[in-house]
């Protein structure tokens, strides 16, 4: 459970979602604020930015992506998207626009709480300041540019290390294929998803106990990748 009175803004036009989420979040130690429309949500944020926003993309008065853009114009507050399973394109666009994560509808409470905890942890970690990253028996020393697995050094090419470091600095977050490709290889390669898959496969051969059943470098089907963190 999370402690403290961190405030979560739940933005969804379905009253049953609010009835379902409020007692769960309150029991976990959150203060919960509800909004049924995008306009209402932006009005709440204008008065006091919450610690996290849980945002449905399908709102009655405005597109959820427009709400996301408006929030990102004034704040880096963690935003977790509530998404329909068949709305993959909108989900990817939201992540590329600055959302921290997404949860598919219908969702389970345990998965939702895990995603919220990760988003909140990431919010208090300033990118690039963590000297040592750990996931299971994988350790990345970002200052020394050294990677070890089970205490043994892992030999990576410069590009493999750059990719792994980028994922580690956003550990727990879903990074879309295009976001990764644009950052690591440049705008000319944003559509080279197969190229990225080759590098991910190489990394898994080097950092996973069982590359066929990865536990560190995780695939988000149709969207991108997420690096698991012990933090």
> Is the CATH number of domain 132-227 2.30.30.110?
no
Dihedral (CA of 32, 1, 226, 165) sign: positive
Q: CATH 3.40.50.2300: which residues of the chain?
A: 7-123
**DSSP strand E in 77-117: where?**
79-84, 101-105
**DSSP strand E in 117-201: where?**
132-135, 138-141, 146-149, 152-153, 175-176
Give the pairing of strands 132-135 and 101-105: unpaired
Q: At what angle do helices 158-169 and 193-207 cross, to 10 degrees?
A: 90
Taking alpha carbons only, the member of 179, 169, 163 closest to residue 92 is: 179
Give the CATH fold of the 7-123 domain.
Rossmann fold (3.40.50)
Mean pLDDT of the chain: 88
Residues 59 and 33 sit within 8 Å (Cβ to Cβ) = no
Q: What is the pLDDT, as a whole number, of residue 216? A: 94
| Cut 0.75: pTM above it | no
Q: CA angle, corner 66, sides to 76 and 103, nearest 5?
A: 65
* 47 CA to centre of own chain: 26
Q: CATH 1.10.10.10: which residues of the chain?
A: 132-227
d(CA 10, CA 24): 12
Q: What is the pLDDT, as a whole number, of residue 170? A: 83
* 148-203 residue pLDDT tens: 999 999 999 989 999 998 898 888 888 999 999 999 998 888 888 888 999 999 99
Average pLDDT for 134-141: 88
pLDDT range class, residue 215, cuts 50, 70, 90: very high
Average pLDDT for 140-147: 84
Please determine, for residue 205, whether its predicted confidence score (pLDDT) is greater than 60. yes
Taking alpha carbons only, the member of 149, 78, 157 closest to residue 119 is: 78
Q: What is the pLDDT, as a whole number, of residue 104? A: 87
d(CA 224, CA 184): 14
């Amino acid at each position: 459970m999370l402690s403290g009175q961190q405030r979560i803004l739940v933005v969804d036009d379905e009253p049953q979602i609010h009835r379902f989420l409020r007692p769960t979040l309150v029991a976990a130690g959150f203060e919960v604020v509800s909004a049924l429309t995008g306009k209402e949500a932006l009005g709440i944020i204008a008065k006091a930015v919450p610690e996290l926003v849980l945002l449905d993309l399908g709102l009655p008065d405005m597109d959820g992506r427009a709400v996301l853009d408006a929030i990102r114009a004034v704040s880096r507050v963690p935003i977790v998207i509530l998404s329909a399973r068949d709305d993959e394109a909108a989900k990817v666009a939201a992540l590329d626009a600055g959302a921290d994560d997404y949860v598919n509808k219908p969702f389970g409470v345990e998965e939702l709480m895990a995603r919220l905890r990760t988003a909140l942890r990431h919010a208090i970690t300033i990118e690039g300041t963590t000297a040592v990253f750990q996931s299971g028996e994988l350790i990345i020393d970002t200052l020394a540019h050294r990677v070890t697995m089970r205490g043994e050094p892992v030999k990576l090419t410069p590009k493999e290390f750059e990719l792994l470091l980028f994922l580690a600095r956003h550990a727990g977050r879903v990074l879309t294929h295009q976001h990764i490709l644009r950052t690591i290889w440049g705008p000319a390669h944003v559509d080279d998803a197969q190229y990225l898959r080759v590098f991910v496969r190489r990394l898994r051969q080097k950092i996973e106990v069982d590359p066929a059943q990865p536990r560190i470098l995780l695939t988000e089907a149709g969207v991108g990748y997420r690096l698991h963190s012990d933090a």
